[in-house]
């Protein structure tokens, strides 16, 4: 029996179906055959060699090279509190540039300074949260502990002063957040850096401050400062023995500093996820956890979605303080 001829309508439908199936399979084939990275990666850091972000980036670079099969070149692009590096990464179009950034550069940079020439939300995309740490509320060595200190600070009102390493820093915003959620009212005195803040506390010029645990705990354990509490929602292994501010009655207080990996918005999503998987696995390894702990960080190694959530939370919490008080970086 002769074969029945295929009608033009059926042939048209069959061709369309074949084209649709081929198109659906193309992305899978492209991902499966993707050889990214195909050349050296550039890991941009906005702070000088020996700084905390630099140490983290260099600790990450070597295992990342082994995992991805390409050199990872750490480049320090210093200036404007990390925002020069942020802009360079945001504008990168080579598909092989990414960055280790501190929380401010990924969240509130433009809120503090509208002149910043990149938008963290629009121009960057989250890759992985590397590590977190609370700030430590500290006082002179002879100050009372815990709730007794907070009561004394509340009674002192604006007669007491606190120090930070500058307007718009997390030490400044964190204290203003504490003031907004408690009866404390100390006046702000900005200093060039944390060492000067520490000296001012010891010299009797300041009554309190929020310091990173790597700096604070060394002085607390040496008997040179009083550790009052940590700013995280719960106690932290980075500050053994100290309660959280929440434990001391400061409701809904949760503030941490952190560093993270971010990529330009132009980097393809498949490459971002490949980078995220590599970074997350490395950060969660026992070796990297130990290195980060020695630098004063509690390792996380999140997904891009986990970092995105942290970014939104910080923008909401700190952005409100910035807008309400009209704070601008100096």
Listed by start position, the domains of the chain span 41-132+257-325, 136-230
Q: What is the pLDDT of residue 28?
A: 37
Decide the pairing of beta strands 256-264 and 136-140.
unpaired
If DSSP codes are grouped into helix, strand and coil, which group holds residue 262?
strand
Which residues neighbour 252 within 8 Å (Cβ) at sequence distance 6 or greater? 181, 246
| Alpha carbon distance 260, 9 (integer Å) | 56
Topology of the domain covering 136-230:
D-Maltodextrin-Binding Protein; domain 2 (3.40.190)
**What pTM value is reported for the model?**
0.86
pLDDT at position 21 = 42
69 Rama sector, left if φ>0, alpha if ψ -120 to 50, beta otherwise: left
pLDDT of residue 133: 98
Which among 139, 119, 153, 108 is positioned nearest to 250, based on CA atoms? 153
What does pLDDT average to in each consecutive run of 10 residues of the chain (330 residues)? 44 44 39 77 97 96 97 96 96 98 95 94 96 98 97 98 96 97 97 94 97 95 97 97 97 94 97 98 97 95 97 95 91
Q: What is the pLDDT of residue 23?
A: 40
Backbone angles phi, psi at 192, to 5 degrees: -65, -30
Segment holding 315, helix H or strand E: helix 304-325
Do 136-230 and 41-132+257-325 fall under one CATH topology? yes
Residue 164 burial by Cβ neighbours in a 10 Å radius (0-12, 13-18, 19+): buried
Architecture of domain 41-132+257-325: 3-Layer(aba) Sandwich (3.40)
Instruction: Say which DSSP state 126 is in.
Output: E
**For position 3, what pLDDT does the model report?**
40
The answer to whether 242 touches 101, Cβ cutoff 8 Å, is no
Residue 104 CA to residue 169 CA, distance in Å, equals 8
- pLDDT of 74 reads 98
């Amino acid at each position: 029996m002769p074969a029945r001829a295929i009608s033009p309508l059926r042939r048209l439908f069959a061709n369309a179906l074949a084209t649709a199936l081929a198109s659906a399979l193309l992305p899978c084939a492209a991902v499966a055959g993707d050889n990214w990275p195909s050349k050296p990666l550039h890991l941009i850091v906005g702070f000088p060699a020996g700084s905390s972000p630099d140490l983290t980036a260099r600790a990450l670079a070597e295992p990342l090279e082994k995992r991805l099969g390409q050199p990872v070149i750490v480049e320090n692009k210093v200036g404007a509190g990390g925002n020069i590096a942020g802009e360079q990464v945001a504008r990168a179009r080579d598909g092989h540039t990414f960055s280790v950034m501190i929380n401010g550069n990924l969240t509130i940079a433009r809120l503090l300074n509208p002149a910043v020439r990149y938008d963290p939300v629009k121009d960057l995309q989250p890759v992985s949260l590397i590590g977190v740490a609370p700030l430590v509320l500290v006082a002179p060595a002879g100050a009372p502990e815990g709730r007794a200190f907070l009561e004394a600070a509340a009674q002192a009102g604006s007669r007491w002063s606190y120090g930070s390493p500058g307007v718009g820093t997390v030490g400044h915003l964190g204290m203003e957040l504490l003031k907004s959620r408690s009866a404390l009212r100390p006046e702000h005195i900005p200093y060039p850096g944390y060492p000067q803040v520490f000296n001012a506390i010891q010299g009797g010029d300041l009554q309190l401050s929020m310091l990173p645990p790597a700096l604070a705990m060394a002085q607390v354990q040496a008997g040179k400062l009083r550790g009052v509490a940590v700013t995280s929602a719960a106690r932290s292994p980075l500050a053994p023995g100290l309660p959280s501010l929440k434990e001391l009655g400061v409701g809904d207080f949760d503030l941490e500093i952190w560093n993270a990996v971010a990529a330009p918005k132009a980097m393809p999503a498949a490459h971002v996820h490949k980078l995220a998987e590599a970074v997350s696995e490395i950060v969660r390894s026992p070796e990297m956890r130990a290195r980060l702990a020695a630098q004063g960080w509690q390792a996380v190694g999140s997904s891009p979605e986990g970092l995105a959530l942290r970014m939104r939370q910080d923008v909401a919490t700190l952005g409100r303080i910035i807008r309400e008080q009209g704070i601008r970086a100096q």
